[in-house]
Amino acid sequence: MNQFIDWVSQPWPWYVAGPLIGLTVPALLILGNKSFGISSSLRHVCAICVPAKIPFFQYNWKKETWNLVFVLGVMIGGFVATTFFSNPEEIVIATQTKADLTALGITDFSGLMPSDIFTWENIFTAKGLIFFVLGGFLVGFGTRYAGGCTSGHAIMGISSLQWPSLVATIFFMAGGFLMTQVFIGPLMKLAGF
């Protein structure tokens, strides 16, 4: 059993993890005629919980219950992975990236997310307002405006040969590169780093 846990706990190479993720798409299509996507689950939760008669939430959400079970499985899998199978080694980050992040005030590289940003104490600060509230709103707005999230477009959309998903994925990547290379420094300084 310990050998299995040791084997599962190690980072999996891209050529194993990538195809496993990629096989999710045809499995969902073949087994249930379902499309892979995570961001649509928020709409289903709102349709269940929002009592107002908002037209966007007026649909038969019960036939999309499988999507909520899928997201619940992702959450449980994440909990199990971080609780029982986490790798105790420090995350490997390029030396130049560490230097750039250190210059911005991020010095803790022990976890998956830097605790210099992602702590409960930061939620009600200007830093938290920018990163969590404004950032969360922009991600949600962008997901709705783009008709899906990055994983939905890049994994499901491209694999089903949808031209809009290819265009969306190209712009997701271009936006990420632009933010990283041009805007991240000034925004971090504005947030108090």
Domain boundary among 62, 89, 116: 89
Please tell me the predicted confidence (pLDDT) of residue 191. 63
Instruction: Say if residue 126 is in the same domain as residue 84.
Output: no
pLDDT tens, position by position, 56-93: 788 888 888 888 898 899 899 989 888 887 767 777 88
What is the structure's pLDDT at 161? 83
> In this structure, are 104 and 182 located in the same domain?
yes
Task: Decide which of 57, 89, 121 is a domain's last residue.
Answer: 89
The verdict on 157 and 120 lying in the same domain is yes
Domain that holds residue 107: 91-193
Stretch 87-115: mean pLDDT: 79
- For the whole model, what pTM was predicted? 0.67
Query: Do 103 and 150 lie in a common domain?
Result: yes
- Give residue-wise pLDDT tens across range 123-135: 788 877 777 888 8
- Please say whether the beta carbons of 130 and 139 come within 8 A: no
Residue 188 has pLDDT above 70, yes or no: no
Q: Supply the DSSP string of 49-107, one letter for each residue.
A: H--S--GGG-S-GGGGHHHHHHHHHHHHHHHHHHHHS---SPPP--HHHHHHHHHTT--
pLDDT digits (tens, 9 = 90+) for 22-46: 788 888 888 888 877 777 788 888 8
The answer to whether residues 166 and 85 belong to one domain is: no
